[in-house]
Amino acid sequence: MARNQTQDLRDVMVNTLIKAVEGGVNLVALVSDSTSTAKIAPFKERYPDRLVNVGIAEQCLVGTAAGMALGGFVAVTANAAPFLVHRANEQVKNDVCYTNSNVKLVGLNAGVCYGPLASTHHAIDDLSIMLGFGNILIFAPSDPLEAEQIFTFALDYEGPVYIRMDSAKFPPLHRDDYRFAPGRADILRPGEDITIFAVGSTVFEAVAAGQTLGAQGISAEVVNLSSIRPLDREGVIQSLRKTGLALTVEEHSLHGGVGSLVSEITAEEGLGCRVKRLGFAEGQFPVPGPRSEMRAHAGIDARGIVDAVKRLLQQLK
């Protein structure tokens, strides 16, 4: 991809599923009346007998996926994160995680992608919920190349995987030689003054903020935590020890997301490091509106990140 070209990660997902079937993977995709949300039409046209639409019935979606996995398929669900994670919570826990089913759960339109549709359609607690379950890997791609590699890994992996997805178009953040590895923190920009940990849809905002800060003489290390479970604990520790200051950024509640994980590591290791978390206020529903305005209000856009870093550095003087 050209450096200024953007791509919808859902298109990457669908193309990767098609390539997997072409390569011999015994794959079935499942949707819950979410064919347009998943942009799954090219897969359906190519492999109509490998797409199952259960209708608006997320519990049935997950239960059916688990059954297909028991029958020898690599089962991939593709539907909106708020309904996958909340409505089918029991089935995700028992039918997929507890039984170690070979199901790949794709939470589409996570965070506040649905903007004005408000909290019924927002998924700002999916990471905290999934982290509460055992036996499931959790990933959040930041750009098209990483999305392709995460899906390729997930399809090869035997066991449950949750992939947090977005509906925006993203620019490439990685070089062509990048290789995703589960459990490895991805340093997109080295720095010395502060570490910015970001996940998923906020990573490109963090990179843009890092560039702005660099032009102003502030050396910010930008770390993409695309692998949330397994998490690169040692990588987080090394960066914290180097900079001694951290800012976490996520389109998620401040409760139970990557900010909580980084804070826990900091406390458990006794690191002399301050951690500031950016996200949606704990215990509150975000005020609905255009997504860009919601991100700006929470301070998780590039400008908000720059401002937060400057405030932190000023407080330490």
Across the chain, what does the average pLDDT equal? Answer: 96
Q: How confident is the model at residue 5, as a pLDDT?
A: 84
Instruction: Give the β-pairing of 27-31 and 161-164.
Output: unpaired
Based on the domain organization, do 156 and 219 belong to the same domain?
A: no
- Asked if residue 211 and residue 154 are part of one domain, the reply reads no
pLDDT band for position 317 (cuts 50, 70, 90): confident
Return the pLDDT at 3: 56
Q: What percent of the chain clears pLDDT 90, i.e. is strictly above it? A: 96
Task: Assess whether 122 and 195 both reside in one domain.
Answer: no
Residue 228 binned pLDDT confidence (cut-offs 50, 70, 90)? very high
CA dihedral 30, 36, 39, 40 (to 10 degrees): 40
203 and 159 belong to one structural domain = no
247 & 285 share domain? yes
Tokens coding 157: 């992996």
Q: Are 31 and 2 in contact (CB under 8 A)?
A: no
Domain encompassing residue 311: 186-315
Residue 19 has a pLDDT of 98
Q: What is the CATH number of the domain that holds 88?
A: 3.40.50.970
CB 198 within 8 A of CB 115: no
> 95 falls in which pLDDT band (50, 70, 90)?
very high
- Residue 172 and residue 303: Cα distance in Å, rounded? 20
What does the DSSP 8-state code read for residue 123? B
One domain, residues 204 and 304: yes
Domain co-membership, 11 together with 149 = yes
**Do 136 and 110 belong together in one domain?**
yes
Cα(246)–Cα(305) distance, integer angstroms = 12
Both 153 and 24 in one domain: the answer is yes
Q: What's the rounded Cα separation, in Å, for the pair 224 and 226?
A: 6
The predicted model gives 62-87 an average pLDDT of: 97
Pick 254 or 1 by higher pLDDT.
254
